[in-house]
Copies of this chain bind each other. A is one copy, B any other.
Amino acid sequence: MQSALMLQGMFLLALAAEAMTAALAAGRRRMDWVGVALLGCVTALGGGSLRDVLLGHHPLSWVEQPWYLGLAGGAALATIAIARFVHHLRLVFLFLDAVGLVAFTIAGCNVAMEMNQSFAIIIVAGMITGCAGGVMRDVLCNDVPLLFRSELYASVSVVTGCIYVLALGQGLNHDLVILATFAAGMTLRLLAIRNNWEMPKFIYTKKLH
């Protein structure tokens, strides 16, 4: 088994999955088809783009491989066709979303490691790649980003990134590390959803001035 090939496959699956969840968010805001496709592209590719822009890592993936835009936009538009069945596919979507989180996190860590960034920045790069697309989706839908409000999402990304980088640092086989990271990250994410694990909330109601 080749780890590069598996990662690429997971990455493409994740791209499509993120675009599809973005399409549902677009549908809730009654966007038109162009809006659906654009929001799909921003959500699926925005996290990686932000990471690359912040790290000065050019060219961006979709500039080099413009068919990524076609994949994300196409997946978003395809969601319109299957929208009436989507609620039967709820579990599939949650599963794909978890795949997306882990695959994007690993991809982000890999980019930062290739640039010889420090450990902290590698983890941050993974988290930005995994989470920032969803923040952009929520901002464009005029919502307070879900990332900031609920569930273990950023936390799962950070833990996943740490497992991945630390295991690689032990000199373990790359294929094995990827499999173990996926197993750990997805288990954590799916358990968090199933058990409604949440971070404590900070509630403050006064005005400063």
Contact = CB atoms under 8 A, between A and B. Distances in A.
Contacts of A87: 206, 208
A34 B117 CA distance: 23
A123 to B, nearest CB: 9
Contacts of A33: 199-202
A54 interface: yes
- As for how many copies of this chain the complex holds, the number is 3
Contacts of A141: 144
A143 B145 contact: no
A146 to B, nearest CB: 9
Contacts of A66: 118, 120-121, 124
A51 to B, nearest CB: 11
A24 B206 CA distance: 9
Chain A interface bracket (under 10, 10 to 19, 20 to 34, 35 or more): 35 or more
Interface in A81-114: 83, 86-87, 90, 93-94
Contacts of A147: 34-35, 38
Contacts of A31: 144, 148-149, 201-202
A13 to B, nearest CB: 18
A98 to B, nearest CB: 12
Given A38-B148, A54-B53, A135-B140, A80 B193 contact: no
24 contacts: A21-B208, A24-B204, A27-B202, A28-B204, A30-B149, A31-B144, A31-B148, A33-B199, A33-B201, A34-B154, A35-B148, A35-B199, A36-B202, A53-B54, A54-B63, A56-B58, A56-B59, A67-B120, A69-B120, A83-B204, A135-B140, A140-B144, A140-B145, A140-B148
The 4 closest A-B pairs by CB, nearest first: A27-B204, A35-B148, A32-B199, A66-B120
